[in-house]
Every structure is written in structure tokens, then in C-alpha cells.
Structure 1
Amino acid sequence: MTGELKGAEITAFRPGLFDGKTVLVSGATSGIGLAIAKGFAALGAQVIATGSSASKLEGLRADAELENIRFEQLDVRDNDAIKSFVATLSVLDVLVNAAGVARPVDEYSDDVFREVIDVNLTAAMRLAMAARSKLEHARGAIVNVASMLSYIADVDVPAYCASKTGILGLTRSLAHSFGPAGVRVNAIAPGYHRTDMTRALWEVPASAEKIAARSALKRWGEVDDLVGATVFLASPASAFITGVTLPVDGGYASGV
């Protein structure tokens, strides 16, 4: 399987579930977005994975295990670039808005606050609107990436919290706007998963153990834990589900 995804997050679904389907994943050069791109590719989709880093894209294109994923450079802050890029796609069945950044502490600066909102929230709207006609033609699906910080606070990242809370409202609004044409819009809300963004926490035993202890499952999430939920929300199994955000946090947000 493409990308070494071999666990239950993929084998729970029938092989070839997304054969003949085209999936676009933003923010897919690492972490959550890359895991999701691998998951759809493993289920037969033609996956276009975008990111802004030329060096990361070059490395991913050279990885033989990822040869079934098409990696493209796209700045999600540039609406004209998004429109031009989406226009090159002949069809589009699924859009996953996974692009995201956090700038701890610095987000109290006006410029940084606006940058984080732009990447995490406004870009999802840009991509959805650019892809709307193609998704309507396919009666497709959008899956946005929210966060457990859509529900709880982190004093160091006010813009991240605000942007991810905004994803909840955007998901509901787009579900009702796109729904009459048969397009479903949902979101996942990751918790503490081992990514580069959370490295400063999970590499320190005391903080890693404290976070695991609060979760119901007493462990950190891995990025692969997010694949099954995303695939489900884009699949026929969720044909009557729209406008919802599915927490994938091991019970962290509901813990004490």
C-alpha cells in the first residue's frame, strides 16, 4: 500500500473504496495532512497533496513509497493561485482542508494573529469556494481539520484557538450552502497527536505523561489515528452526515 499505511485505519475499509476518485489535500507535506493523503491513496484515490515548502515537496516527490501521490506547491494565502490551481483539475470528488500553522506566544502580535487566521480558517473558505462547482458536479465531500482547541483554551495560541473554533462555524455554514447540490461538509477535531507541531510537548516525558493521563485512552494520538475518521466522512458510509465536527482526541477534551 502507498505510504506504508497498513493498520486498521485502512484495512477497516474495502480495498479500492476510492478508485476513480480525485482527492485534494492541502497542507499535506507532513503530519496530519500527509497521513490523510496516504490513506486516500491506499484506498485507490488519485491524490493531489499541496504544500508551500519547495524543499519538502522535492523530497516527497523523490520518495518511491509516495509515487502514487501527486505533490504540488500551493500558497493557500493566495486566492488567485488557488483559483488557478483548482481550475487545472478536470474533476474533484473530495477536498480536505488540512493546512494549518501555530505560532505560540507570537500570536498576540497583530500581524502574526492575522497570518494564522488566514492559513487556518480563511484558506479553507478559499479552497471550498474555488472547488465548489467541481464538488457539486461530483456530489462530493469536504472534510475540514478543526482541533480540540476549537473547544478548550490554550493561552499561548489565541489565533490558533480562534481559527479552529471558526472552522466549526464554517463547516456548519458550508454544509447548508453546499448541501442542496449534494455536497457534504464535515470536520475532524484532532487532539494531541505526535507531529512536529507538538514535538516540544511529547519529547518531554513529564508533559507527555500529563497529556496522556487526561485522555480516556491514556495515550497520545498518532497521525494515522486521524485517517479512518477522515475517510469515513468522505465515504458513502456517511451519506447522511453533514455539518458536524467529529472529535478524534482519545477523549482528551472531555477529560479532567
Structure 2
Amino acid sequence: MTATFHDLADASVFITGGGTGIGAALTAAFCAQGAKVAFVDFVDAAGFVDELGATAAHPPLFTQCDVTDTSAMHDAMDRAADAHGPFKAVVNNAANDMRYDVAAVTPDIWDDMQAVNLKAYFFSCQKAAERMAAKGSIINYSSTSYMLGMGNLVPYTTANAGISGMTRSLARAFGPKGIRVNAIAPGWVMTEKQLALWAEPKAKAAHLDRQCLAEFMQPEDMVGGTLFLASDASAMMTGQTIVIDGGVVTTG
């Protein structure tokens, strides 16, 4: 941890997909800031909770949940807000970036990918606005993959592009309530999943050549930008998508 955001101490924070990959790094980081963190994940994260609970001022509250089950996710968010108070920050991070040849995509695959990568984000934002403190912050995780035109990720990249559009619209819709809505678009982060499934040496070397910064990104590299957007340090930022990718894509 390289910075302390004092307004995050004792703040109520909710994270989807907070038990693995980037989400686990975010959960640990908010706990280290002294926040009251609740998170959901599809997998059992009880061991991770025990590990954080040994040092955190506020042990995280975990609910095993499929975010595509809107009722279950809303129930988890209600329990978190009841336990920790109105949300200061909600981070939508849960995602599925499976690769598919275009010809192999079926209606069921398409619907499943939109359900986890876009629909769940909207309904989390909907509940967040209902249970959020004044001047709260919603942070939606997108991806630079939709900016790069990756052909084997069409269902995923379509959802990612939708996240950016949804973020802008919700920033306008929630602005009168003082709620900010921003997105973060990571590049290729070397999570355990990426390393196990797709990070072959040739692909890694080719991607590193495209980055301005010559080192592979780790889940912890997403922490600083997320804490900043959650904090009052970014009080007048809303409707924006921040790219954190080592310098592959350009914006502006």
C-alpha cells in the first residue's frame, strides 16, 4: 500500500468478485485502509476471509453468491448495508472473460456472458444507489479488450463497451443524488486464471512489446486507481473511464 485515504477508514464498501484475482487484491486493499468491506464471490472464500480477519480492523463480510442471481446479489448488498451502514463505495468487478470462436457462440452462451458481464453490473448499481451514502462512489470494472478489437472475445468485449456507456448514463442519472459513477479499464493483468489458461510465453512476450512499461501487470496494480475513485480525493470525477494498462491504448 503506497497511499492512505483517510476517508476510507470505517467506510462501508461492497465488492463483487472480491475473493479471487483483481477482486481479492481490492478486498485486501480496502481492508488495509480500515474500511468495513463486504464482498460476494461465486467460489468459497472462507479461507481468504480468515486470512484477512487476522490483521484487518474490520474482518470482511463474505457471502457466496452468483451475481447473475439478481435477488441473491441484492440480498447480499442489503445485508452488507445493514451490517456496515450505507455504502461509500461499490465496486463491480465480477466478470467472465472466456474466449469463443464467433461461429461457436450460441444464444445461451451470449445470454450467459451478458448476464455476468453487463446485466449484473446494472442491477448492482441500481441497488447501490438505493443503499448508498450521500456522495458515494460506484466503480465499474471494464476492460481495454473492447478498445483493441479482440476477435475471440466478442460476447465479453460487447459487454465491456456496454459498461462504459452504462457508466456515463448512470453518472447522469445518479448525479443529482451526489453519487459518482466511474469505470476502470484494466489491460492484461496476470491473475491466476490468466496464467493458467491463456498466458503462454509467446502471447505474453507479444503483449509486453505493446506496453510502454516493460513489466507485466499484477492484480495489485489495480488498487491505487480504485482507492482513488472510492475516496473523496476524486470528488468531482464522474462518468469517466480510466485505463490502467501499462500504456497499450491511448485515450483523449
Q: Does the TM-score normalized on the shorter chain lie above 0.5?
A: yes
Partner of 1:11: 2
- Kept in 2: contact 1:39–1:227 (CA 8 A): yes
Partner of 1:37: 27
More off after superposition, 125-134 vs 78-87: 78-87
- Kept in 2: contact 1:60–1:71 (CA 8 A): no
User: 2:110 corresponds to which letter in structure 1?
Assistant: F
- Kept in 2: contact 1:172–1:185 (CA 8 A): yes
Partner of 1:7: none
Matches within 5 A, 1:85-164: 85-88=76-79, 89-90=81-82, 91-105=86-100, 108-135=105-132, 137-164=133-160
Aligned-partner Cα distance in 1 for 2:178–2:109: 37
- What SS does the aligned partner of 2:95 have? coil
In the TM superposition, what whole-angstrom CA distance separates every residue of 1:144-182 from its partner, at most 9, and x where no partner exists? 001001312111111110011111001001100001110
Shift of residue 254, structure 1, vs aligned partner = 3.7
User: 1:140 corresponds to which letter in structure 2?
Assistant: G
- Kept in 2: contact 1:34–1:49 (CA 8 A): no
Partner of 2:208: 212
In the TM superposition, what whole-angstrom CA distance separates every residue of 1:166-221 from its partner, at most 9, and x where no partner exists? 1100100110000111000001000011013322343x222211111110102221
Aligned-partner Cα distance in 2 for 1:254–1:176: 25
- Kept in 2: contact 1:150–1:168 (CA 8 A): no
- Kept in 2: contact 1:213–1:219 (CA 8 A): no
> Which of 15, 22, 31 matches 2:12?
22
Shift of residue 253, structure 1, vs aligned partner = 2.1
User: 2:169 corresponds to which letter in structure 1?
Assistant: S
- Unaligned runs of at least 5 residues, structure 2: none
In the TM superposition, what whole-angstrom CA distance separates every residue of 1:19-63 from its partner, at most 9, and x where no partner exists? 12110000111111111111111111011121112xx32332343
Shift of residue 103, structure 1, vs aligned partner = 2.0
User: 2:174 corresponds to which letter in structure 1?
Assistant: F
- Kept in 2: contact 1:17–1:44 (CA 8 A): no
Shift of residue 240, structure 1, vs aligned partner = 0.6
Aligned-partner Cα distance in 2 for 1:66–1:77: 32
Partner of 1:47: 37
> Which of 26, 47, 69 matches 1:59?
47
Aligned-partner Cα distance in 1 for 2:146–2:182: 14
More off after superposition, 211-220 vs 193-202: 193-202
- What SS does the aligned partner of 2:185 have? strand
Aligned-partner Cα distance in 1 for 2:160–2:7: 29
In the TM superposition, what whole-angstrom CA distance separates every residue of 1:92-134 from its partner, at most 9, and x where no partner exists? 1110000100221167222112111110111011111112122
In the TM superposition, what whole-angstrom CA distance separates every residue of 1:74-97 from its partner, at most 9, and x where no partner exists? 221112222222222222111000
User: 2:136 corresponds to which letter in structure 1?
Assistant: G
Aligned-partner Cα distance in 2 for 1:119–1:77: 5
The share of aligned pairs that are identical, in percent, is: 32
Report the count of equivalent residues. 241
User: 1:162 corresponds to which letter in structure 2?
Assistant: T
Aligned-partner Cα distance in 2 for 1:170–1:95: 15
Partner of 1:6: none
- Unaligned runs of at least 5 residues, structure 1: 1-9
Output the aligned Cα RMSD: 1.9
Aligned-partner Cα distance in 2 for 1:152–1:215: 13
Partner of 1:5: none
Aligned-partner Cα distance in 2 for 1:37–1:62: 13
Shift of residue 236, structure 1, vs aligned partner = 1.0
